[in-house]
Amino acid sequence: MRLEYLVAAIGDASPPEAHGLPNIPLVPHDLHVHFVRAEAVRWVDVEWPGWVEVRLHESDGTVVSLIDKVPVFDDGDRLTLETRLPAYVEVPCEVLEQAVDQAGNRSSLVRLRSNVEDQRGRTTFNIDEHTLVSHC
């Protein structure tokens, strides 16, 4: 909602939260859509919609196993029963934090979208800069 419409709707220019409204930035700070590059490695269940195991690599070398429905990992037709595995996929994520260590290695703390979690129930992962993919 644009500020002038917000002012007209509530009658003054006080902060939105003063009126029980969320304080949402007027201009998004990041216009990119982010993904974690991962690898579909095996079918868990081939019945519709299909369940697949996907593995991603954390920045410390840990390999994380994720199991979920195919549409969570593939918004197109890349993952079909005819797809030769392993196959690369891009898992939607939100970048929570970015860091650079003393050696100059860049990493990002990300939260996977669609409530995707690993076997331990984690939804946030530290990944290196080569695993993070961003599209405008």
Report pLDDT for 1.
Answer: 40
User: Which residue matches tokens 């005819």?
Assistant: 82
Residue ranges per structural domain of the chain: 1-29, 31-135
Question: Average pLDDT of 77-95?
Answer: 92
CA angle 117, 121, 125 (to 5 degrees): 60
Question: Average pLDDT of 59-67?
Answer: 95
Query: Is the pTM above the cut of 0.85?
Result: no
User: Which tens digit of pLDDT belongs to each residue from 4-47?
Assistant: 443 444 455 555 556 555 544 444 456 678 999 999 999 999 99
